[in-house]
Structure 1
Amino acid sequence: MSVTGLRWAGRRGLLVELSDLESVLALHTRLRTKPLPGQLEAVAAAATVLVTFSSHATTAAARQTLPQLELELDAGQLAAGREITIEREITIEREITIEVVYDGEDLAEVGRLTGLGADGVVAAHTGQLWTAAFGGFAPGFTYLVGENSSVDVPRRSSPRTAVPAGSVALAGGFSAVYPRQSPGGWQLIGHTDAVMWDLERESPALVRPGDTVRYVAVRESLRLAASSTADEVDSSPAPDEVRAPESALLVESTGLQSLLEDLGRPGLGDLGVSAAGAADQQSARQANRLVGNEPGAAVVENLLGGLTVRARGDQVLAVAGASVPLEIRSPTGQLVHRPAMCGPFALLDGETLSLGAPALGLRSYVAARGGLDVPAVLGSRSTDSMSGIGPAALAPGTVLPVGAVEGVRPVGLSEASTLGLGQTVTELRVVLGPREDWFSEDALEALRQDWVVTEQSNRIGVRLAPAPPAAAADDGAPARALQRSREGELPSEGAVAGSLQVPPSGHPVLFLADHPVTGGYPVIAVVVPEDLPTAAQLPPGHRVQFTPVDPATLEPLAPEPAFQGIQP
């Protein structure tokens, strides 16, 4: 294995650059089978492995250890399949057969680009064994590398806005199957009926990193939908047989958006599944603490107020996060009480709690003593807005069962709000990198100017634009976009929450809880984990200042800091 570079990816992440894909697979296999102390996740990409850790101390220790690892990739072992112990499960890597109808819109173009013709492309695609190198982009989307480069073609110059689910595609030496309809710029050569992602399976992804895949050409097949017959019996209970939970919250209105969230589902990056969870985990933890829940109990995450819930059975609630006015009304609509934020209060049977518009902040968190007891998906009750995994967004009429309280769990005392927003401008500390060397010194200086949150922001990321010139700097200097100093494309690589990814527009996007596992735009800096809860509370129109800091001490760096990449 050859490590060519080691870069900070925030305070708790390291981006390891490697000389070739074989080295990527070797390091990734080593980290999966023998994790480093404090390691949370290792996400492989085309030329890098992103490794994240539980603390800055374990990250700093790994920074010394990673370049010293002596690894060998046993290609035969990878191909033959083996048992690998992972943190939560045991998986078996094996060979998968995928039947393909070669009728893709770009098949002729791929034949022209490779010089093989359409029939030659099919022969080359089916005539080699493909190895699943890494996941990303979307759940079930796995990058496969072939035994040769005979069908190595570039991406389309103009991406499609909607690639059909099941499309078999090629780009940059890789092959993949789109698991669901999504935008995409790969060359389409066929389609398959294989279900690449199914939460009903024990292992939802059909192809996992380390598996091998054999494509087989078939003729068009018919999908036979199962139909009921007279002999089939519907065993589902009649509506009047379904018992409503005795203890629950009934959603009467949701406001702009209300979701169920807990602390997320980390550790599934190889499957293209982001951690998700509460965008402001500090506030979600506080709400749970106030009602005596475990930190990871499910809560309601409400955006900009407008939520109303009615109690079924007596409940104990708490609301934290964005500062919103609270009202409790009786079953007849009379005002009963205006409880305070960040303190526990009773909501009696039939009473309603309403959240008004926030005076400060964006997201409020409602916890119920006992937790909101909905079914978990992949170990979490969180809604992932990007992949669609988890409970659906709340709607009027949704019933949220409240779990029973086990053991002795005292209700907490009222606390001060954890909200860290300024009234008009908020400072966020960032660690430069991992790709600050893709930008000019002028761009690193411009990063310090005021930025404004745009209305296109969501749980995936906070979209930023330069603030108006009058507020951009004390000297009245004009606002600037972040200009790159390099040409070309960056191969997709892992990204952590808090990453400031910079598209060609030069306007950064700050990744939040539902961000994609991998990304293809360079990341100039990463918000420190301690400031991520504040970042999740930034409302549209709010101004932001980024302050580069030392990853070890959090002390501010002088303007125009030196390149932070580390060459082992």
Structure 2
Amino acid sequence: MIETAGETLAVQRAAVQKVRSVRAVGTRAVLAELTGTQDVLALQALLLENPLPGQLDVLAAAETVLVTADSPVSARRIAARLLRFDLIAPVQRDGGLVVIDTVYDGEDLAEVGELTGLGTEGVIAAHTGQIWTVAFAGFAPGFGYMVGENQALEVPRRSSPRTAVPAGSVALAGNYSAVYPRRSPGGWQLIGRTGAAMWDLDREQPALAAPGHRVQFRAVRDAVSLAPGGPAEVAASDMTSGLRVVSPGLQSLIQDLGRYGHSGLGVSAAGALDRASLRRANRLVGNAPSAAAIETVAGGLAVQAVGDQVLAVAGAPSDLTIASPSGDDLEPAWRTVPIATPFALLDGETLTIGAPQSGFRSYLAVRGGVDIAPVLGSRSTDTMSGIGPAPLAAGQLFAAGGEAESGVVGHPELQPDFPGAGVTVLDVVPGPRADWFDAAALASFCGQDWEVKPQSNRVGMRLQGTPLQRTRQGELASEGTVAGALQVPPEGLPVLFLADHPITGGYPVIAVVVDSQLDLAAQVPIGGSIRFRWAPGYGLPTSFSEASPNIPQTK
């Protein structure tokens, strides 16, 4: 049961404060460090009211504000401007009281009782006996970082994050509490579960507990179930022109170039992991570069034409086979077509994408684009948040839309080399928390081959190798991050964030893959090997100054 009271929380800022320091996050984002939550909110308000030149997005976290820019040049200019800001703007946060019924039977409840010295019943009493305030949103849509009235429940994150935390899990980490809106990876301590719908796009305010809301957890004994609902369907029962899914393969998703500018809601960009291949496939069929297409992994996707269609496949080189509804000795029942070339798929014919000879992901574009309703300005599937269409299923129909921008199809194109059996080298720049590691750990990071583990997905690539040792102990306050960031949990094994990554994280980022090589990273298969090297001109970091930003130069 959820109750809302018409109460208002107002927080004012009057004293003049400054940004303490600025750190680079890759080549196109910077992280402003501040003294506390109120300064964070003041800076966020300033940047949202008066965006800086080149500013694309702003994300507030516990003690930092992440600013994403449109270029490395803009990032450096923004960094310099941030250091001169006076944080005198008032921050208004208006919200009500949200009561969340919770069953306290979490997997980590007993351990939290030991860590805090409160015992199981004491943890429940401490969690329900105080009012929590949502300070900021992050990680995933509907995931609010809640600050309590005391620090009795301060606990560390898990040394190794879980690959899947159940939806509705009530959790603790550091001084924060939160509810996981849906099934996702996570490293917080789980103490209970709720059926509250923390995120619902059908509501005027999608987040049940948005920044400024107060939250009261209430212990209940009965099990609760999550409210029904899910991603939008991609079917069209009266469709006369499009594609029918015969076999979805391992995982096939609708993707475009992603949704940007919604990090304040906890929404990541998502979009195609290999953006160049998506653009190439769309270009070949005469679509706009951002038209929605199908991203599929490891082959196995088979689609049947409903009406005559023009298609192209780009990305991981694979055998493309077309089967006709019927055939005879004079006209074979099947034929092959080349990759990175437009071709016709006539009504009733079926295209099958074979297993890649190299690489991992292929992109199937249909002339006109996949016609489904956009969500927050994009047709992409975000596998972490559940925003966008569900993964393709056998028998599903989807229409071709009006995204063609050229009257003709493109010429066949050459493709780059894709990762094979050897080691893929990725250039990186120092991360904002590279100073959590000494020279030996930094040398080990770039001096070994990392294997891509089977637990990898669109959220992140989990890497296996010799663990990296931190030089700092304790917790890092959650802060914004970007695709390409390499987080290092306490166990020492890096996780390379991809397009569906959580927008905030609490593990130190040792390095960030340069943006231009994220397409290459997306094509490294499960079991493949990666070696990192410092991008030419950046070098190994040795020190970090709070007086001047550690901003990479333009490459």
Post-superposition Cα deviations, 1:273-295, rounded to whole Å, max 9, x if no partner, equal: 22111111111011111111111
Distance 1:351 1:566, change over 3 A: farther
Letter in 2 for 1:392: A
Equivalent position of 1:34 in the other structure: 50
Partners of 1:321 and 1:224 lie apart in 2 by 41
Equivalent position of 1:488 in the other structure: 474
Partners of 1:432 and 1:156 lie apart in 2 by 24
Task: Give the Å deviation of 1:530.
Answer: 0.5
Letter in 2 for 1:276: A
Task: Give the Å deviation of 1:336.
Answer: 4.5
Task: Give the Å deviation of 1:515.
Answer: 1.3
Distance 1:222 1:73, change over 3 A: farther
Post-superposition Cα deviations, 1:488-536, rounded to whole Å, max 9, x if no partner, equal: 2222221110011122333222111111112222111100110100000
Distance 1:36 1:392, change over 3 A: same
Equivalent position of 1:208 in the other structure: 210
Distance 1:531 1:160, change over 3 A: closer
Partners of 1:459 and 1:38 lie apart in 2 by 28
Partners of 1:118 and 1:243 lie apart in 2 by 52
CA contact (8 A) 2:318 2:356 kept: yes
Equivalent position of 2:63 in the other structure: 47
Equivalent position of 1:386 in the other structure: 384
Equivalent position of 1:453 in the other structure: 451
Equivalent position of 1:437 in the other structure: 435
CA contact (8 A) 1:132 1:144 kept: yes
Q: Secondary structure at the match of 1:3?
A: coil
Partners of 1:202 and 1:486 lie apart in 2 by 43
Equivalent position of 1:317 in the other structure: 311
The aligned runs of 1:115-514 (5 Å cut-off) are: 121=126, 125-126=130-131, 130-146=132-148, 148-149=149-150, 151-155=152-156, 166=168, 171-180=173-182, 185-186=188-189, 188=191, 194-209=196-211, 211-213=212-214, 215=216, 243-332=237-326, 334-404=332-402, 408-419=406-417, 421=419, 424-456=422-454, 457-466=456-465, 480-514=466-500
Letter in 2 for 1:290: L
Post-superposition Cα deviations, 1:4-26, rounded to whole Å, max 9, x if no partner, equal: 22111000011111112221121
Letter in 2 for 1:366: L
Distance 1:225 1:218, change over 3 A: closer
Q: Secondary structure at the match of 1:378?
A: coil
Post-superposition Cα deviations, 1:324-369, rounded to whole Å, max 9, x if no partner, equal: 1112221126454322211211111111111111111100000000
Provide the identity percentage: 48
Q: Secondary structure at the match of 2:42?
A: helix
Distance 1:483 1:158, change over 3 A: closer
Partners of 2:100 and 2:452 lie apart in 1 by 45
Letter in 2 for 1:201: R
Distance 1:460 1:192, change over 3 A: closer
Partners of 2:127 and 2:485 lie apart in 1 by 40
The aligned runs of 1:84-95 (5 Å cut-off) are: 94-95=95-96
Task: Give the Å deviation of 1:439.
Answer: 0.8
Partners of 1:383 and 1:520 lie apart in 2 by 25
Task: Give the Å deviation of 1:252.
Answer: 1.0
Equivalent position of 2:231 in the other structure: none
Letter in 1 for 2:253: L
Partners of 2:225 and 2:498 lie apart in 1 by 41
Equivalenced residues, count: 514
Partners of 1:492 and 1:288 lie apart in 2 by 38
Task: Give the Å deviation of 1:321.
Answer: 0.6
Letter in 2 for 1:563: S
Partners of 2:166 and 2:297 lie apart in 1 by 32
2:524 to 538, 541, 558: 538
Q: Secondary structure at the match of 1:447?
A: helix
Root-mean-square deviation (CA, aligned residues, Å) is 3.4
Partners of 1:58 and 1:273 lie apart in 2 by 23
CA contact (8 A) 1:137 1:518 kept: yes
CA contact (8 A) 2:322 2:349 kept: yes
CA contact (8 A) 1:283 1:418 kept: no
Task: Check if 1:64 corresponds to 2:62.
Answer: no
Equivalent position of 1:8 in the other structure: 24
Single out whichever of 155-164 and 511-520 deviates more from structure 2: 155-164
Partners of 2:170 and 2:200 lie apart in 1 by 18
TM-score by length of 1: 0.81
* Structure 2 unaligned blocks of 5 or more: 1-16, 228-234, 549-555
Q: Secondary structure at the match of 2:239?
A: coil
Distance 1:223 1:342, change over 3 A: closer
CA contact (8 A) 1:99 1:216 kept: yes
* Structure 1 unaligned blocks of 5 or more: 82-93, 227-238, 467-479, 550-554
Task: Give the Å deviation of 1:101.
Answer: 6.2
